[in-house]
Amino acid sequence: MSKLLKFSVFLFLCLFALNSTPALAYVLDGDLSDWGVTPFTDWVPNGTANYNEENNATYAPAGTLIESWDIEAMYFDNDDDYFYFSIVQSHSQSSGWGDLAIDLDGDGEFEFGADLTHFGHGNSVVSRDFYSVDEWFDHYVGWSWEMEYRIKDGDVLGQFDVFQKQYPVSYEPGAAYAYYTYILEGRIDRMLFGNLDDACNLDVYLQFAKVSCLRDYMNLLASVDGNCEDCVVPEPATLLLLGSGLLGLVGIRRKK
């Protein structure tokens, strides 16, 4: 094989690789090792994941040594097919209220919601409803604070997958009492958000508030990968055309 042919094939493969985004290897199993996270030991994720971490033994916005409803950390990442999220907390989703609120256009209104209220931990992935939200429950009787914590009204756009697992560590350092830790992992099909093909450096704002007689909440500002109109990465059809052209040039040169 001539040097020109080898170079042409190499260039074509490189361009194809640039245009290909591999799927992320997030498995919904309650084990955060694929995120690069070990709760209470190492909260910082690997790769492109966004996160927010408190890891304290209190609940927000005030309280001392109350760990039973404490939210420790939130994570978000995405690939071409899904939005992935994970939440580490000290209370099972089998009781209390708490849905995932999502703002995708940066207007401060949470127009999407993932139903996470009232399902227990187990050994299998569960499908839940994903909403276009018209109205949220944002005030709990007896508390003065306001925050979107449960879907009140909206339209079901489809379903998403979620898994909840009780984490082996049951006692958080600094907590006055021992409570189990629970890990939520979910994935939401990007198509449920509409057409995101033209999104470029899109911000997504996530909020999770857990409410009952006690409460805690956590926010996360994350980024969504997308395509830009001025991107220089060629489309697959362009790559094929370029590759054919290069091989054609090699053929012409060999005939000469």
The structural domains of the chain, with segments of one domain joined by +, span: 1-21+228-256, 26-224
Written as six digits, the tokens of 175 are 């907590």
Whether the model pTM is above 0.75: yes
* Sheet bearing 181-189, strands edge to edge: 50-53, 71-78, 82-89, 181-189, 146-167, 126-139, 112-114, 100-103, 202-211, 215-224
Instruction: Report the distance separating Cα 1 and Cα 4, nearest Å.
Output: 8
Tens of pLDDT along the chain (256 residues)?
565 545 444 444 444 444 444 556 799 999 999 999 998 889 999 888 999 998 665 544 444 445 667 888 999 999 989 999 999 988 888 888 899 999 998 788 999 999 999 988 777 899 999 999 999 998 877 777 788 999 999 999 999 999 999 887 655 666 655 678 899 999 999 999 987 766 667 889 999 988 877 778 899 999 886 544 444 444 444 444 444 544 454 454 454 4
Instruction: Report the distance separating Cα 179 and Cα 166, nearest Å.
Output: 11
Dihedral of CA 232/107/191/23: which sign? positive
Residue 67: per-residue pLDDT: 65
